[in-house]
Structure 1
Amino acid sequence: MGGSGRVPCWLGGRVPLAELWGNGGVPWLGYKGIGGVPSWLGEGSPWLGYGGNWWGVAVAGLWGAASPLQCPLLFHLGDDAGGAHAVPLGSKPAPCPEGHAAPLLYAAWAEASFLKEPELLNLPHPALTHQPPLPSQSWGENPGVLAPSSPSPSWGENPGVLAHFCSLPGGGSLPGVEDAENWHGKPMPKDKVESIIGAIQSQIQTHEVLVPQPPIEDVPQISIAGICMPSPSEYTTGDKVATRKAYGVALAKLGAASEHVVALDGDTKNSTFSELFKQAHPERYIECYIAEQNMVSVILGCAARDQAVVFASTFAAFFTRAFVHIRMGAISQSNLNLCGSHCGVSIGEDGPSQMALEDIAMFRAIPGCTVFYPSDAVSTERAVCLAANTKGICFIRTSRPETPVIYPPEETFEIGQAKVVHKSDADRVTVIGAGVTLHEALAAAHELAKQGTHIRVIDPFTIKPLDAATIVNSAQATGGRIITVEDHYTEGGIGEAVAGEPGMVLQSLAVCGVPQSGKPAELLDLFGISTKSIIAAVKNTFAS
């Protein structure tokens, strides 16, 4: 790394801080620590080294080797408009000022037991008016500016460490290109390439050829194939269980079956029930907090080189924030398992911002993505196990309401194979529902049967791939009449997936328009996807 024409300087080993205080010639320090970085400082934080367009964020501190309690001062540097602050560790600290290095200080405060985790996670970012400011540009130019503000470090068995993090401007050291506009997406002209190569070569002080050494120890080869549930389902037909909870139970069971199963969540673990995995296997649980884009990036890394079977969960609506990361995962042929809970208007009072109504469309658009939509606890458990053993991206859509278990514990499921859950020789219409709407369709079937009208009900289990054969055969048996009912927008949902199959007349019941807060049953009625709406649609099929 280098910046603005400077030759990067990497200082390794034990460099006494005293030598740095007076050294005005130390050029830009890259994203590395000087000496050993203590275990309580995570260099991997996505915030470290992130800042403004030019000078970025720098973080520096004096640490003993074991604990932040041994640290005379911690320094926090704001962005290019802010400054650095020396924070004494003697009393309960105030929250960080604006600036992206705050997580570093917060982590230190937590380690020092100044703040409990729940309090820490809710800290705001007001200014620290009582601390002496240091301009950020001077940090990059000269670490010696710290000397007037800091005490002399005490040297001993564990000498202090200075860690300096900064982001550097792009295009540095490239004459005619650095800071220039209108270069995006354009190849470099040959004449400029030659001048740039010449400029770089002029800075070379040695002609020694560096040959990278092969790794001393490679990642061990492991097998993550064929992971099975360690015990059968314990659900009983008729039990009411939310599929989101069944996901958490299944994930915890899968974690017991293999030490290579890892779970992530976006700070919704008590709602997605991934907390059950955390309780059982805390060493393999990663809390990503409310940062869904970053969470998908983390799962991409965890799944790299087939070293782990990784599941990430949050509200299905929040995965829309990470769509670009998900599509890049497909491009890189990654194996990701994503579970989105709280789908559709059936979540009720939480309102439209929390209601996933575009997620099926989003994941159907991803090449090679398998879209599971389980309708009860047993099928949810099977979906989790199948996803763990399926290549590519898998999405499991779970619901908030508790719904009856309709499948026996021994029921088997396959990707791309639907279930006909209600049928008779007198069926006149085929109704396809999933999740909450499958139960609405079953209730409609029982009510219509009392009135002498019989319908066939299909649970697709996977929306992608879709079991076209079962759907077409059922359509042929019911006069070509198909009704799809889904807790999702019309566009890109189950109805459009089914509409691609030939030989049927399709009526789609879906959420039309932006929903609102309300009781789940009221919202299903309001948007025409309830039992009452299905009965009306069946009757209208014969009236038209």
Structure 2
Amino acid sequence: MRNDQLAELGQQLRVDAVRAANAAQSGHPTSSMSAADLGAVLLANHLRYDFAQPDHPGNDRLILSKGHASPLLYAMYRAAGVIDDEELLTFRRLGSRMEGHPTPRLPWVDVATGSLGQGLPVGVGMALAGKRLDQIPYRVWVLSGDSEMAEGSVWEAVEHAAYEHLDNVTLIIDVNRLGQRGPTRHEWDLDAYARRLHAFGWHTIEIDGHDVGAIDSAFAEAESTLQKPTAIIARTHKGRGVHDVDDREGKHGKPLPNAEKAIEELGGPRFITVDVAAPPAARVLYGSRGGRAEMPAYDVGTSVATRDAFGDALAALGSVRPEVVALDGEVADSTRTAAFAKEHPDRFFECYIAEQQLVAAAVGMRTRGYIPFASTFAAFLTRAYDFVRMAAVSHAPINLVGSHAGVAIGEDGPSQMGLEDLAMFRAVYGSTVLYPCDANQTARLVEAMADLPGIGYLRTSRGETPVLYGPDEDFPVGGSRVLRSGDQDRVTVVAAGVTVHEALRAADLLEAQGIGVRVIDLYSVKPVDAATLQEAAEATGCLMTVEDHRPQGGIGDAVASALSDGRPLPRLIRLGVQNMPGSATSAEQLHLSGIDAESIAAAVQLLVEEAVVR
């Protein structure tokens, strides 16, 4: 498209952004107007995309990282002819696909955006998939705002993209100078961005973001640059083209005060359509073969760490599921993803100590059809929680594995102990939370995770624990196991992971005193086995949860929620980690936190004595 046509298309995108926000009486038209020329040139001259086939493997990927500028994206879709004017003007209405921030309700949107600083990290994951997995020359275009360049996650992605020589990534920074409450940190100092990006190993191009010829040349230069990612740093005006809002503070996130006047100033509505270039023919290198993996088997009575079983099981799963990939945060020897790396080095991704990029890369790969398992210490996944939350909004079913959970890790101390992770992942929309207690159970749950519909979280333990179950036993998601029960049971102890073994030891101690205890292995923390819990509550009248986790949000709350169905509630006692641990052995840690066998037995004795007195 010629420069004069590109300029007209840019004006059309501005007008449509104004119209959409005016129809909704909310939104961010000024942020859309600043990037309109960038969007016009990209759509008309450089994007390769078959809108009729959003899943075409050769399609370029476009991520609107500054998701509040969604009117621009929707205006681009109208120009491409995939939505009509009527749908554009349903912006932000109930039931509309034109949401305030883009989500995959639209088939051309890969990931939800709006939480700033996520577009580039996810784009890096897509680009890694293109380079190392798909081996298809699609390009990932990320349109970012200047404000979000302050996010640490952006710089994790910047470093990773340069390290991996991702020349298939182009970052377009819309430097419009104004944030939500006033000027951005660097305002229009384009060189401030360029110096930083160049120091990380990026190719940088500084341009006038309203000069369509310069934009076109910059995009072409990005496409021809090899071995380096490219950042196009574009100086723009927020609210470009309308005097009342052009580069004016206090206009962020508001429809224009006089939309009709603004539209007239911009030259009125236009109805230009763009024939977007088709992608090249392509095929996916790794196709799904399916079939059940031959999972590792462990002898009952031996002792194996569940993290070891996870590593073995993931490697086995990768042998029959070529779409399975593993990512790790420089702790593969501890999380045991090293086993996968040894067997399938072409599908293992080292993300180093950058947990936000770790999870973002998993999301990006998931959008390309892969099944990612991303692993690090459970404690460190807290850093990436916003990416987990947004993955759920994106309907991107990724699998996360947190090792070294709880005080049971021992001497390393509290900085390494995941004690909040169950609560964190239970709160995620549509998530599944699994906490196995032995090796064979772990292997079966890893296999099940590959086909989960939402975010999956597996909690593994550092130390060895006895193998309780045979290798041929099944552990359906949403289930549990009753390990001990009798007609004279006075209390039900509900545990998971390491505390299952402590509960069994406590039951032996109590049996010697004539106190019957039912023990439930609640390996599926979400969804929880409400039927088994309700049956135990009716039989024993009292439930005691024991968890190597803070009392808030973990197993105790999962059990409480399962029993809150309107029926009379049983007595519910919760044992969890309420102290601030220091360095000590695993056994000492469990005892000091009151969740070892002796502490459980003492709590049950006290409970039974109280019941007798009453």
SS of alignment partner, residue 165 of structure 1: strand
Would you say 1:482 and 2:550 are equivalent positions?
A: no
Q: Supply the distance in 2 between the matched residues of 1:366 and 1:166 (Cα, whole angstroms).
A: 35
Counterparts of 1:346-385 in structure 2, within 5 Å, are: 346-385=408-447
Q: Mapping of 1:86-485 within 5 angstroms?
A: 99-104=196-201, 165-168=231-234, 171=238, 173-175=240-242, 176-189=244-257, 191-192=258-259, 194-195=261-262, 198-199=265-266, 209-217=273-281, 224=288, 227-229=291-293, 231-304=294-367, 307-478=369-540, 480-485=541-546
In the alignment, does 2:558 pair up with 1:497? yes
Q: Which residue of 2 aligns with 1:28?
A: none
Provide the secondary structure at the position in 1 that maps to 2:576: strand
Q: Deviations over 1:151-189 (max 9, x none)?
A: xxxxxxx99999863433572634343443333432233
Q: Is the 8 A contact 2:295 2:316 kept in 1?
A: no
- Residue equivalent to 1:72: none
Q: Which residue in the other structure is 2:61 paired with?
A: none
Which has more radius of gyration? 1
Whether the 8 Å contact between 1:47 and 1:103 is mirrored in structure 2 is: no
After TM superposition, give the deviation of residue 498 of structure 1 in Å.
Answer: 1.0
CA contact (8 A) 1:174 1:196 kept: no
Q: Which amino acid aligns with 1:186?
A: K
Distance in 2 (CA, whole Å) between partners of 1:294 and 1:515 is 29
Q: Counterparts of 1:343 and 1:526 in 2: how far apart (Å)?
A: 16
Structure 1 residue 320, shift from structure 2 partner: 1.6
1:277 shift after superposition: 0.7
1:339-396 CA-partner distances (Å, limit 9, x unpaired)? 1111111112222222111111111111211111111111111111111012111111
Query: What residue number does 2:15 align with?
Result: none
Q: Contact (CA 8 Å) 1:337, 1:387: kept in 2 or not?
A: yes
Contact 1:227 1:389 in 2 (8 A): no
Aligned ranges 1:37-48 → 2 under 5 Å: none
Q: Which has the higher contact order (CA 8 A, sep 6+)?
A: 2
On the 8 A contact 1:49/1:167 being kept in 2, the answer is no
Task: From the superposition, tell whether residues 313 and 522 of structure 1 become closer, same or farther in structure 2 (CA, over 3 Å).
Answer: same
Contact 1:264 / 1:311 at 8 angstroms: preserved in 2?
A: yes
Structure 1's unaligned 5+ residue stretches are: 14-30, 32-38, 60-65, 67-78, 86-96, 109-135, 142-157
RMSD: 4.2
- Partner SS for 1:448: helix
Distance 1:225 1:498 in 2: 38
Distance 1:264 1:535, change over 3 A: same
Query: Given that residues 399 and 436 in structure 1 are in contact (C-alpha distance below 8 angstroms), is that contact kept between their aligned partners in structure 2?
Result: yes
| Contact 1:433/1:459, CA 8 A, preserved across alignment | yes
Letter in 2 for 1:493: G
Q: Secondary structure at the match of 1:508?
A: strand
Deviations 1:68-96 (A, max 9, x none): xxxxxxxxxxx9699989xxxxxxxxxxx
Q: How far apart are the structure 2 equivalents of 1:424 and 1:181? A: 72
What's 1:534 paired with?
A: 600
Does the 8 Å contact 1:292/1:322 carry over to 2? yes
**Structure having the larger proportion of residues in helix:** 2
Q: Distance in 1 between matches of 2:557 and 2:387?
A: 25
Deviation at 1:225, TM superposition (A): 8.6
Q: Tell me how far apart the structure 2 counterparts of residues 238 and 522 of structure 1 sit (CA, whole Å).
A: 23
Change (3 A) 1:296 1:194: farther
Assess, with a 3 A threshold, how the Cα gap between structure 1 residues 428 and 103 changes in structure 2: closer, same or farther: same
Q: How far off its partner does 1:484 sit?
A: 0.5
**1:275–1:50 distance in 2 versus 1, CA, 3 Å:** farther
CA 164–402 in structure 1, closer or farther in 2 if over 3 Å, else same: closer
Structure 2 CA distance, aligned partners of 1:212 and 1:298?
Answer: 27
Rounded to whole Å, the distance in 1 between the matches of 2:580 and 2:328 is: 27
How far apart, CA to CA, are the structure 1 residues paired with 2:472 and 2:230? Answer: 58
Question: Which stretch shows the higher mean deviation, 175-184 or 324-333?
Answer: 175-184
Q: Please give the alpha-carbon distance, in whole angstroms, between the structure 2 residues aligned to 1:351 and 1:278.
A: 28
> Which residue of 2 is the match for residue 511 of structure 1?
577
Task: State the distance in 1 between where 2:354 and 2:227 align.
Answer: 31
1:521 pairs with 2:578: no
Matching residue's letter, 2:360: S
Rounded Cα–Cα distance in structure 1 between residues aligned with 2:35 and 2:141:
27
For residue 329 of structure 1, give the secondary structure of its aligned residue in structure 2: helix
Q: What's the offset of the Cα at 1:255?
A: 0.5
For 2:358, give the aligned amino acid. Answer: M
User: Secondary structure of 2:196's partner?
Assistant: coil
Distance 1:3 1:163 in 2: 26
Distance in 2 (alpha carbons) for counterparts of 1:403 and 1:311:
23
Match of 1:23 in 2: none
Aligned to 2:90: none
SS in 2 for 1:182: coil
Q: Partners in 2 of 1:171 and 1:193 — Cα distance?
A: 19
Q: Distance in 2 between matches of 1:5 and 1:45?
A: 14
For 1:45-103, what per-residue CA distance to the aligned partner results, in whole angstroms no more than 9, with x for missing partners? 9999989979x99x9xxxxxx9xxxxxxxxxxxx9699989xxxxxxxxxxx9834444
Counterpart residue identity of residue 586, structure 2: P
In structure 2, give the amino acid aligned to 1:529. I
Aligned-pair distance for 1:482?
A: 1.0
Q: Distance in 2 between matches of 1:511 and 1:389?
A: 32
TM-aligned CA deviation for residue 193 of structure 1: 6.3
For residues 185 and 219 of structure 1, the distance between their equivalents in structure 2, rounded to whole angstroms, comes to 42
With normalisation by structure 2, the TM-score equals: 0.62
1:195 deviation in Å? 2.6
Q: Tell me if structure 2 keeps the 8 A contact 1:227–1:385.
A: no
Separation of aligned partners in 2, 1:506 and 1:261: 41
The offset of 1:400, in angstroms, is: 1.1
- The unaligned stretches of length 5 or more in structure 2 are 1-9, 11-31, 47-119, 121-130, 133-137, 159-164, 166-184, 209-223
SS in 2 for 1:447: helix
CA spacing shift, 1:53–1:538, aligned 2, 3 Å: closer
* In 2: Cα distance, 1:333 partner to 1:218 partner: 25
State percent identity of aligned pairs: 41
TM-score for the superposition, normalised by structure 1? 0.70
CA distance in 1, matches of 2:576, 2:551: 5
Q: C-alpha displacement at 1:487, in angstroms?
A: 0.6
